[in-house]
Structure 1
Amino acid sequence: MSPPAVAGGGTVIRRTSYGIPHVLADDYRGVGQGLGYAFAEDNACVMAEIVVTLAAERSRWFGPDGVAGDLHYQRLNQSGVVERNLAGVSRQARDLVRGYVAGFNRYLAENGLPEACERWARPITEIDVWRRVHQVAGLTGGEGFQEQLVSAQPPGAPITAPARGEAERPGSNGIALGRQSTAAGTGMVLGNPHFDWDDTWRFYQHHLTIPGELNVSGAGLYGLPLVNIGHNDRLGWTHTASEAQTVTLSKLTLVPGDPTSYVVDGKAHRMIAEQVTAGGTTRTLYRTPDGPVVEDDLALQWTDTTAFVLRDANHGNLRVVDQWLAIARARSVPELHNALVRHQALPWVNTLASDSTGTAYYGDVQVVPHVTDDQRARCAADVPIGLVVLDGSRSDCGWGADPDAVTPGRLGPSRLPALIRRDHVSNFNDSPWLANPAAPLTGYPSIVGDVGTERSPRTRVGLDMIGTNDFSLSTLESAMLRNRNLTAEQGRAAVVEMCRANPTLPAGDGRPVDVRAACSALAAWPGTGDTGETSRGAYFWRSFITLTGRPGTKLWQVPFDPADPVHTPRGVNAADPGVQRAFADTVQAFAAAGVAVDVPLDAVQRYEGVPIHGCRGPEGCFNVISVPGPPRPGETQEIPHGTSFVMAVELTRNGPRMSSLLVYGQSADPASPHHTDQARLYAKKQWVKGEFTEREISRNADLSVHRLR
């Protein structure tokens, strides 16, 4: 069946069940226009919030808590980094953004500003969208250091730099199956990004078609006019957050008596002073040619002798739009790898893919600072922060160069890990080492990730889930939502036996605690992240496992063995005094918070009243829903992070078969019918059937068609 005519630059937006738009146009500007129009219909107020935030106007509309962010974005905006780097963007990418802006603004012109945000909403500009692109590229870089960047002041200044908090990082599960691991000998991909559920960091599902040029379906982060995770007719791909560090710190040696001057190779240099005004606050901030000065009240203090500079490999990276367009146009694993090498613009993510020949791919071909292991040994500064910190007083400790790197100062693709298999590859946010345990990846620089170290419980349950299965689309769907909990599988029985034998256990404060009710709850709990009456005990286990992570506790009976990294460590050591104290302390925490130890998961994990199944990654859960434990007095539990867009796709020679779930729905607007429709579907472990071909789209029972002339 042929697509409807789009002659003369017209755009057709066809929506299928659950509000998924399929945009058809004859050029990039046209598909951008259709996507911008559809997104405005669903999420105009969220885009308005993104725009005012990136325009450094957040505190004006949302209160003084936004001043630090305003100073950060105003500094970026007055630097001209976005405008300066647009020269490296293709015409197709510029047209796509131009169309997206036109479509969004057309919707506002036809329907007016939404009442909920009419005070701050306005038509958007191309620069607004490119600022969003830049923000996404820098998510694991300067974006995560905002307060520490705008609070960095010379010694004696009245501003106190905050400590850097530990927020949930972007994460994900990604599995790519080759023909040896599928029942039909096809390629299959499971994409399961774990992102913030905050409105501004959600995914939006859509399908973009330019006949003969582009045909891609999947989801992209709000405000981006493209598919980040998805498939075309021959290739499916997903991303996971990489362990590669995308930033480094330089430890500056300051000139005695002048804390805004520093020494390199014995020669003094003055810092660059920048006056920034935003949110009613004016502040002088400092930088060097490598990046801005950063400060916290712990390891990164600016003293009379030392300061620190943050260098972000994704600063100025707008080429990500061309990178994702190139991925969308690739129709095989070799074409995908070539696209990654040619552009080398992915920020902070691994790529997992499979194609219709049953070839599976893993690659961490992205933007990584050129820091070799030899350089780290020569130049490492002893700063306990968990990031690469280099000696800024020596020019030979700056980033190096590779001839095959697309951007100077980055590792070239030939140094970055990649693997092609006929069985399977996967990543669950550990390093590339065990992308396939039968073919461990080694030899890459340590800034990319470690080798021979303990894998997370989520990685171990993911690898066990793959096993030697011959997957079909339905068994892949079932595996995704089975809600296995590895620590419970390995230790619930032992813990129950322990607490039955010891109905009173000593807490960390020395007081005896009656643990019988908690013990009974765990005995009755089946050990999964499912909701319902059988979930009583699930939240208690989560909270208990969290407390076993304290120093001095020996959780596992069998320690990690690098010769058996998939199956070790294992066996919860219920006899360990630290484990027993954690159990008693968990009972105390529930009592202090007024929460029953057998509270069902339904009461803890809800989205707009809908129970949400799943559990935390540190428990050894694949389907991640990151509600923390133990509970705290007066604390209201909300879902901050976790499973968001889920895609299971089979790439057959006759075309793709796909199932998906966008757990929080297409719209962040509570009044929209697409705000909770997929949450209710997810709660019942039901999926949305993907519709990709013209025949599938035209036969959808809920089809609506809107033409933009």
Structure 2
Amino acid sequence: MIITRVRRLAVPLLAALTGALLVAVPAPVRAEEGRYSADIRRTEYGIPHIQAKDHGGLGYGHGYAFAQDNLCVMASWVLTLRGERSRYFGAEAMSDDPIDPVSNLAGDVYYKGIQASGTLRRILARPAPHGPGAELRALVDGYVAGFNRYLGETGVDRLPDPTCRGKEWVGPITATDVWTNLLDLARLGGGSSFKEAIAASGRTSEQGEDRPVRRGPSAPGSNAYAIGREATRDGAGMLLGDPHFPWNGSRRFYQVHLTIPGVLDVSGGSLYGTPMVQIGHNATVAWTHTVSHAQRFTLYRLELAPGLRTSYLVDGRPEPMGRQEVSVTVRDARGGTRAVTTTLYTSRYGPVLATGWTGKEALALADVNAANLRFADEWLAMGAARDLTELRRAQDTYQGMPFVYTLAADSRGETYFADASVVPHVTDEQAERCRAGDDPEALVLDGSTSACLWGRDADAIEPGVFGPAAQPRLTRADYVTNANASPWLTNPKAPLTGYPRVYGDVRTERDLRTRVGLDMVAQRLSGGDGLGAPGFTLETLQRTAVGKRNLSAELLRPDLRALCRVRPVMTASDGGKVDVRRACATLAAWDGRARLDSRGAVLWREFLQNLNRPHRRSEAADPRKSWWKVPFDPAHPLTTPRGLDVADPLVATALADAVRFFTANDLPLTLTPGQAQRYGAVPVPGCTEGEGCFDRIRTGGPLGEQGRYPDVNTGSSFLIAVELTPAGPRTRTVLTYSLSANPASPHHTDQTELFSRGLWVTERFTEAEIRACPELTTTSLR
């Protein structure tokens, strides 16, 4: 039986409300009023299936559904994007950026600077593919209108989410906000991680000092498999997507199914505030992304003109820096407001940074994604692709992926990997010739000569970036994988080499997450993982993805057990003696996994974290020394390094310190992940990247004296496993933090509880599947 609830909304009153809301907020770009219609059908766990006759209507339904679930998160994020947080929350409070929070004042100055630069206005004035296409513009305008319609009919004082109910800072959004959100997403691996250094450029002292450049955390990570016909039992193409994005704030995924009959039918994950699907599938193609190792920016060292702090030399001629006056409204302690005006400096390369600015030189940031919105059209085109040929054509047309690899499979059983992201055109020769610094985290080039400007490829969409011919790509009928390592071992049978170093390295040590992911594929193809006959099925793909293996334990525990047998008492870092026999017995009995009930998994994590803390080594110790027994060998990258060098005194000390912490706080040595880590009230399985865990999680801090980590804040976020059969896609998903950030919503932790128990949602994709849902509800927007 189909249970359908249809709400016919009062069109005249709501249209007037929506129009009034749109007019009330001044902005340089605003969604135009139009005739929008859409149906929002929700199936289990509140997952919305949006159907409309055109892109404007599709955005309308998407924006309305998203506002129902997550309006407060978007309302707060819009303040950030507008540079208005200091007005409402004060200058010193921290921003709501889930990846790189900075002070409100620094963030406001940064985003006001983007507005003042006119970059967004110039992008929107360009025709496609350099600027947004007509369908994308309609999608954005509809999304804004749908979001605002929900707010208008509900009212700020009656919002179901107590987080922002009745707050003065909640209001309608504009198309400018959505475009700015997309631009900020593009800059995630570049300018967005230098907010403080950009915002403080106008406050440099007369005698600055050359300090290391402080940048925010890098973009989140992910895992991905694309499995071809030679590696599946039934010859179908398969995909596993496992993005590791924040569990809170504006960088969460919203699960949605978008349909324009005969035009678009795509389902998957859509980052908050974006109207298209970024990771997902249609009837014949599935794709996902992982964060690329390629450079997103270069720094340019500027040689200042003698006696002039705001002019620099290029080819021997002085060139004045550009100046931007930015004004931010700040709330004071008494609730009043005042304006704070800051000067930002720019160069021909990009913004000048406060760090590194002395009387003789300065640093400028050249961000390859500073003016990139092409990826939004690219995702729309990828969602409509019928096979990998069309998906590649979409990527070659727009060349806009901001910071991610692409892995995809189609119903013919082909798989595809590419770093089709935007990468600055710096050849290996130019990097060596122009290198002007030895910063290990950034490529610093000589800004005093135009010979060090980025180059150009004939097939590139714009100057300064590499074209498709230079990109690392691989098409296979067995599999391609990635876990944020460089492209080198995408498939160990066909190593990728020969690409410029700005794309990543080759023949270097792989991290444990990459190694365990490749080993999981190898064992499934050999049948050595205990999951039955060789080859992937949808079910074995799911079980492989959430197996909770801990590779560090597999590689190191045998040697630690040997040490335990000969040294039952070990010395802690303060010189005290610690009996480790019970701890050794616990680790010996541990199942080596990170399941909810894995007794000893937390003890192992604490031991390994102690082992990895660099401050535990004395200053006299060789900093190159490692506790690995067998070092990395580029001829054997999947099996080295391995083993534990128990002769290193750090090993015993790390275990003794871990045991002492447990005993001093009366914590059981058998403490399990289910007892120690939570998301709200829900226990969460899994372990950390450093331990060599595939579907990893990260908590907000160290283990507390009560035996609890702070809540999980990052990790596996939108798990999706797809089998592209001749009869259509079979898909399993789980949104680890659930659909709604509203604590009062029934969909606030319902999928989190599934994830906790290792369960998945069976996706409803076809019309028959959607109509068969016993919990189906429908909202018709007219």
TM-score by length of 2: 0.86
Checking the alignment, whether the CA contact within 8 Å between 2:112 and 2:328 is kept in structure 1 is yes
Aligned residue for 2:348? 289
Aligned residue for 2:187? 138
2:251 is aligned with 1:201: yes
Aligned residue for 2:584? 519
Where 1:83 maps in the other structure, the secondary structure is helix
Aligned residue for 1:19? 46
Aligned residue for 1:35? 62
2:743 is aligned with 1:670: yes
Q: CA deviation at 1:501?
A: 2.4
Q: Deviations over 1:476-508 (max 9, x none)?
A: 000111100101111223213313422332334
Alignment of 1:316-331 (within 5 A): 316-331=371-386
Q: How many residues align?
A: 699
Change (3 A) 1:225 1:27: same
Q: Deviations over 1:69-123 (max 9, x none)?
A: 1111011111121122113110000000000001001111111122532321101
2:495 is aligned with 1:440: yes
Change (3 A) 1:395 1:362: same
Structure 1 window deviating more from structure 2 (214-223 vs 154-163): it is: 154-163
* CA–CA distance in structure 1, aligned partners of residues 665 and 508 of structure 2: 37
Checking the alignment, whether the CA contact within 8 Å between 1:540 and 1:630 is kept in structure 2 is no
Checking the alignment, whether the CA contact within 8 Å between 1:592 and 1:632 is kept in structure 2 is no
* CA–CA distance in structure 2, aligned partners of residues 247 and 216 of structure 1: 32
Q: CA deviation at 1:553?
A: 4.9
Aligned residue for 2:599? 536
* CA–CA distance in structure 2, aligned partners of residues 62 and 611 of structure 1: 32
2:551 is aligned with 1:486: yes
Change (3 A) 1:206 1:157: farther
Q: Deviations over 1:550-572 (max 9, x none)?
A: 34552322221211211222223
Where 1:584 maps in the other structure, the secondary structure is helix
Aligned residue for 1:68? 106
Change (3 A) 1:9 1:69: closer
* CA–CA distance in structure 1, aligned partners of residues 545 and 640 of structure 2: 23
2:118 is aligned with 1:80: yes
Quick one: which amino acid aligns to residue 431 of structure 2?
R
**Stretches (4+) displaced over 4 A:** 157-163, 588-597, 632-636
Aligned residue for 1:579? 651
Change (3 A) 1:666 1:598: same
Checking the alignment, whether the CA contact within 8 Å between 2:456 and 2:466 is kept in structure 1 is yes
Aligned residue for 2:26? none
Where 2:502 maps in the other structure, the secondary structure is coil
Checking the alignment, whether the CA contact within 8 Å between 2:199 and 2:344 is kept in structure 1 is yes
Runs of 5+ unmatched residues, structure 2: 9-34, 94-103, 126-130, 331-339, 526-533, 615-622
Calculate the aligned-residue CA RMSD, in Å: 2.2
Quick one: which amino acid aligns to residue 107 of structure 2?
G
Q: CA deviation at 1:514?
A: 3.6
Alignment of 1:243-642 (within 5 A): 243-280=293-330, 281-296=340-355, 301-467=356-522, 468=525, 469-532=534-597, 535-549=598-612, 550=614, 551=623, 553-588=625-660, 597-627=669-699, 630-631=702-703, 637-642=710-715
Aligned residue for 1:116? 163
Q: CA deviation at 1:160?
A: 12
* CA–CA distance in structure 1, aligned partners of residues 646 and 287 of structure 2: 41
Q: Deviations over 1:649-701 (max 9, x none)?
A: 00112110000000110000111000100011111111100111000000011
Q: CA deviation at 1:511?
A: 4.0
Q: CA deviation at 1:314?
A: 0.6
TM-score by length of 1: 0.95
Checking the alignment, whether the CA contact within 8 Å between 1:16 and 1:702 is kept in structure 2 is yes
2:724 is aligned with 1:659: no
Aligned residue for 2:28? none
Structure 1 window deviating more from structure 2 (633-642 vs 436-445): it is: 633-642
Q: Deviations over 1:400-423 (max 9, x none)?
A: 111111121101110011100000
Change (3 A) 1:516 1:163: farther
Quick one: which amino acid aligns to residue 690 of structure 1?
E
Identity of aligned residues (%): 48
* CA–CA distance in structure 2, aligned partners of residues 166 and 49 of structure 1: 21
2:141 is aligned with 1:98: yes
Checking the alignment, whether the CA contact within 8 Å between 1:155 and 1:304 is kept in structure 2 is no
Checking the alignment, whether the CA contact within 8 Å between 1:155 and 1:259 is kept in structure 2 is no
Aligned residue for 1:151? 200
Aligned residue for 1:125? 174
2:240 is aligned with 1:190: yes
Q: CA deviation at 1:430?
A: 0.3
Change (3 A) 1:182 1:284: same
Aligned residue for 1:170? 220
Structure 1 window deviating more from structure 2 (582-591 vs 451-460): it is: 582-591
Q: Deviations over 1:499-541 (max 9, x none)?
A: 3422332334444344344323322321111112xx2321221
* CA–CA distance in structure 1, aligned partners of residues 725 and 169 of structure 2: 47
Aligned residue for 2:762? 689
Quick one: which amino acid aligns to residue 23 of structure 1?
I
The equivalent position to 1:242 in structure 2, one of 289, 292, 296, is: 292
Q: CA deviation at 1:591?
A: 6.2
Quick one: which amino acid aligns to residue 277 of structure 1?
S
* CA–CA distance in structure 1, aligned partners of residues 191 and 424 of structure 2: 14
Change (3 A) 1:694 1:527: same
Where 1:255 maps in the other structure, the secondary structure is coil
* CA–CA distance in structure 1, aligned partners of residues 185 and 693 of structure 2: 27
Quick one: which amino acid aligns to residue 82 of structure 1?
L
* CA–CA distance in structure 2, aligned partners of residues 83 and 595 of structure 1: 58
* CA–CA distance in structure 1, aligned partners of residues 190 and 560 of structure 2: 41
Q: CA deviation at 1:220?
A: 1.0
Where 1:32 maps in the other structure, the secondary structure is helix
Runs of 5+ unmatched residues, structure 1: none
Q: CA deviation at 1:150?
A: 1.0
* CA–CA distance in structure 1, aligned partners of residues 354 and 658 of structure 2: 35
